[in-house]
Chains A and B, each alone.
Chain A
Amino acid sequence: MPDIYLDNNATTKVDPAVVDVMIPFFLEQYGNPSSIHKFADGVAKALKKARGQVQELIGAEHDSEIIFTSCGTESDSTAILSAIKAQPNRKEIITTTVEHAAILNLCENLEKEGYTIHRLPVDKCGRLNLDAYKKMLSDQVAIVSVMWANNETGTIFPVVEMAEMANSAGVMFHTDAVQAVGKIPMMLQDTKIDMLSISGHKLHAPKGIGVLYLRRGTRYRPLLRGGHQERGRRAGTENTASIVGLGKACEMAMEHMEYENVQVKAMRDKLEQGIIATVPHSFITGDLNNRLPNTTDIAFEYIEGEAILMLLNKAGIAASSGSACTSGSLEPSHVMRAMDIPYTAAHGTIRFSFSRYNTMSEVDEVLKVMPTIAATLRKLSPYWDSVTNEPVANPEAAFTPTFK
């Protein structure tokens, strides 16, 4: 069986149809869209079409609200830095403890510069407390930045409602929607979301292309100044081929929206139910009632994620883990810590993320190997009793290594 790719929240395969529409912009229409000659005459039109395709997918009111950037991180940085620059008197930012590093590390840096960062905590299911959020909103807050869906657990936050609340308090609202766009339907024109980040490579477009949605009328300061590209809001020669590719990918995501939420979801559900049924001491993390259709994050207790990934990889299965070891850090994933998942489980979390390219037979394949992988590693674990094939009684107390 060919290798199985279940790491689509990390990045996706570029759809062959996307590659096809991009190629002419490398080889024929390679002119600068600002030029007046036949090498460029189709380019501006193609960019306009792509802008329309992105607009359609997210339900923006105007196509001029779409600003092409180089990636999701650039969109996130642009949004937050714009908000604080445009409102120099506001020195507070509201975000969550479970954001992507693109937001968290930027905020940590702004904290050093004197900004106050409010990080909304989550409960054990990864949910926010909206009452606590409401109390934080004030005329001191420059911007709220809350992800639409969490990259690790797939948990969806009520950003539409939170944007309404921010708007009522006169506060700008940004959402990092790189995991949500293309997987769940959205109609931004009916919301109070001011800014939204998209990353092309999460929805079968290439890496190196992103979008910042900027609601018309939102006060804005560019991150990159220079030429007149993107109406002066993001200078730099357009990444034409990738923009065209992203447009096509958005069109295809729109067409597959139902498939994503029915068939892809069915594969995800079958996998997680199958694992929970066959691997003892495993559980699903996140808000099971509000999740992306393609994502499941499963904690395997008493074993470590990188070791699981290496055995999965050997079986031809690609996934990812929230363990500290996979990233080379000292702590397991900040998302798992924020949800207060115990260390003995947090280090053993594995995320399986699907796309429309996956199949049910791939799910069966994973279900075939997963119980053995867990059993193999548990045999080595000091928390596991290989005689009874159960965790040792009171595992946290039974094994207490020196220096904790």
Chain B
Amino acid sequence: MWDYSDKVKEHFFTPKNAGAVVGANAIGEVGSISCGDALRLTLKVNPETEIIEESGFQTFGCGSAIASSSVLTEIIKGMTIDEALKVTNQDIANELDGLPPEKMHCSVMGREALQAAVANYRGEEWKDDHEEGALICKCFAIDAVMIEEMIWANKLRTVEDVTNFTKAGGGCAACHEDIEAILEKVLAEKGEKFDATVSTAAVEKVETPAIAAVKTPLTNVQRIKKIEEVLTSLRPQLMADGGDVELVEVVGNTVYVNMTGACNGCQMAAMTIAGIQQRLMEVLGEFLRVVPASEMKKLVNIEGAGHA
């Protein structure tokens, strides 16, 4: 069974605002019955103030779908519809103390139901631009459709390219076979052939400019500059996800960083840090440990710590 948080269980076992709101003037219906998730959100919006006075949900779906629906109705009650539209799926997941990667789509469904309901209230037609594929990378919750689109859009050719552009495959690496299969399929559609031996350097580097690996021993200043350079090269990817990273200190072989923005508190932060560490080790050619700066005081006495 999934490792659901207590918050998810609480909202599943005792859902809030279940059922349709009587006299609702905003209705959103989204989901996919083939996937086994569908949600009807009904809202009563005060036409004067545009405040959501009542919200109710009806959900056909699993435990986390029901919990996401329930928590969404709680979040938006009392908001104006403009405020409600700012609620992201991450807000829904956060309110539930996180969801397993396979279940993040339940929070997406909640946000979409909300958009659909608001569109319905305003007499607009809501169009879903979101297509969902089979989950490929479980570390970063990246699905097949996303990978395919990125391969098309960025002329990717290798698993490493896919990892650089989507993060898929950057964690445990168990999905590399599946990523290769997708590459093979998309490249065949483009009339090209997937070659596992081709080097990544052949691709136009947009987000991760190659940084020459160093071999000779570095001075501390050179070393820190190099680390900064690597972090700068990774920054666009993090920023694309609404996050950022900042170098705080280097002590011995431990690199302390601050994860900010969306990275801060994100379940994936640990994986991201692992990715940064991997890249740093590749470029600097030495063992380095990347640690959140929040751990700094616990681990070392900075004043007294000399460089190893």
Contact of A330 among B18, B62, B65, B134 (CB under 8 A): B134
Contact of B132 among A304, A311, A330 (CB under 8 A): A330
CA–CA, A347 to B36, complex, Å?
6
A118 CB to nearest B CB, Å: 22
Q: Are B1 and A313 in contact (CB under 8 A)?
A: yes
Q: Could you say which of B37-45, B224-232, B275-283 contacts chain A?
A: B37-45
Q: Are B33 and A380 in contact (CB under 8 A)?
A: no
Q: Are A331 and B128 in contact (CB under 8 A)?
A: no
Tell me the total A-B contact number using a CB cutoff of 8 A: 111
Asked if B287 lies at the interface with its beta carbon under 8 angstroms from chain A, I say: no
Per-residue interface assignment for chain B, residues 29 to 54, with 1 indicating a CB less than 8 Å from any chain A CB and 0 otherwise: 11111111111100000000000000
Q: Are A306 and B58 in contact (CB under 8 A)?
A: no
Q: Are A401 and B34 in contact (CB under 8 A)?
A: no
Chain A neighbourhood of B156, CB < 8 A: none
Q: Are A307 and B61 in contact (CB under 8 A)?
A: yes
Contact of A307 among B12, B116, B131 (CB under 8 A): B12
Asked if A60 lies at the interface with its beta carbon under 8 angstroms from chain B, I say: no
Asked if A381 lies at the interface with its beta carbon under 8 angstroms from chain B, I say: yes
Q: Are A401 and B62 in contact (CB under 8 A)?
A: no
Asked if B152 lies at the interface with its beta carbon under 8 angstroms from chain A, I say: no
A305 CB to nearest B CB, Å: 8
Asked if B107 lies at the interface with its beta carbon under 8 angstroms from chain A, I say: no
Q: Are A343 and B33 in contact (CB under 8 A)?
A: yes
Secondary structure call for the B interface:
mixed
Asked if B285 lies at the interface with its beta carbon under 8 angstroms from chain A, I say: no
Chain A neighbourhood of B132, CB < 8 A: 330
Per-residue interface assignment for chain B, residues 175 to 216, with 1 indicating a CB less than 8 Å from any chain A CB and 0 otherwise: 000000000000000000000000000000000000000000
B65 CB to nearest A CB, Å: 7
Q: Are B62 and A306 in contact (CB under 8 A)?
A: yes
Q: Are A401 and B36 in contact (CB under 8 A)?
A: no
CA–CA, A100 to B57, complex, Å?
37
Q: Are B36 and A304 in contact (CB under 8 A)?
A: yes
Q: Nearest B residue to A386 by beta-carbon distance? A: B19
Given contacts A307-B12, A402-B30, A403-B30, A343 and B59 within 8 Å (CB-CB): no
Asked if B307 lies at the interface with its beta carbon under 8 angstroms from chain A, I say: no
Per-residue interface assignment for chain B, residues 115 to 151, with 1 indicating a CB less than 8 Å from any chain A CB and 0 otherwise: 0100000000011101111110000000000000000
Chain A neighbourhood of B64, CB < 8 A: 325
B243 CB to nearest A CB, Å: 25
Per-residue interface assignment for chain B, residues 50 to 74, with 1 indicating a CB less than 8 Å from any chain A CB and 0 otherwise: 0000000111111111100000000
Q: Nearest A residue to B12 by beta-carbon distance? A: A310
Per-residue interface assignment for chain B, residues 1 to 12, with 1 indicating a CB less than 8 Å from any chain A CB and 0 otherwise: 100000001001
Chain A neighbourhood of B127, CB < 8 A: 402
CA–CA, A304 to B35, complex, Å?
10
Asked if B91 lies at the interface with its beta carbon under 8 angstroms from chain A, I say: no
Q: Are A399 and B40 in contact (CB under 8 A)?
A: yes
Considering only residues 98-114 of chain B, those with a C-beta below 8 Å from chain A are 102-103, 112
Given contacts A302-B60, A382-B38, A382-B59, A403 and B32 within 8 Å (CB-CB): yes
Per-residue interface assignment for chain A, residues 319 to 340, with 1 indicating a CB less than 8 Å from any chain B CB and 0 otherwise: 0000111101111100000000
Asked if A37 lies at the interface with its beta carbon under 8 angstroms from chain B, I say: no
Chain A neighbourhood of B58, CB < 8 A: 380-382, 384
Chain B neighbourhood of A324, CB < 8 A: 35-36
Asked if A309 lies at the interface with its beta carbon under 8 angstroms from chain B, I say: yes
Asked if B169 lies at the interface with its beta carbon under 8 angstroms from chain A, I say: no
Asked if B170 lies at the interface with its beta carbon under 8 angstroms from chain A, I say: no
Contact of B34 among A303, A331, A383 (CB under 8 A): A331
Per-residue interface assignment for chain A, residues 235 to 246, with 1 indicating a CB less than 8 Å from any chain B CB and 0 otherwise: 000000000000
Q: Are A325 and B33 in contact (CB under 8 A)?
A: no
CA–CA, A400 to B31, complex, Å?
9
Q: Are A304 and B62 in contact (CB under 8 A)?
A: yes
Chain A neighbourhood of B34, CB < 8 A: 330-332, 343, 404
Q: Are A404 and B66 in contact (CB under 8 A)?
A: no
B300 CB to nearest A CB, Å: 40
Chain A neighbourhood of B9, CB < 8 A: 310
CA–CA, A379 to B133, complex, Å?
30
Given contacts A304-B62, A380-B18, A381-B58, A401 and B33 within 8 Å (CB-CB): yes
Asked if A263 lies at the interface with its beta carbon under 8 angstroms from chain B, I say: no
Contact of B38 among A328, A384, A401 (CB under 8 A): A401
Given contacts A329-B134, A399-B29, A401-B30, A323 and B36 within 8 Å (CB-CB): yes
Asked if A135 lies at the interface with its beta carbon under 8 angstroms from chain B, I say: no
Q: Nearest A residue to B19 by beta-carbon distance? A: A386
Q: Are B33 and A344 in contact (CB under 8 A)?
A: yes
Known contacts A380-B15, A386-B19; 18 further A-B pairs (Cβ under 8 A): A304-B37, A304-B61, A304-B62, A310-B1, A323-B62, A324-B35, A324-B36, A329-B134, A330-B35, A343-B34, A344-B33, A347-B33, A382-B29, A401-B29, A401-B30, A401-B38, A403-B31, A403-B130
The 9 closest A-B pairs by CB, nearest first: A325-B62, A306-B62, A328-B102, A347-B36, A382-B58, A401-B31, A382-B40, A401-B29, A403-B128
- 23 CB < 8 A contacts A-B: A302-B60, A303-B60, A305-B62, A306-B62, A307-B63, A310-B12, A310-B63, A311-B13, A324-B35, A325-B36, A330-B134, A343-B34, A343-B36, A380-B15, A381-B58, A382-B29, A382-B40, A382-B58, A382-B59, A382-B60, A386-B19, A399-B29, A402-B127
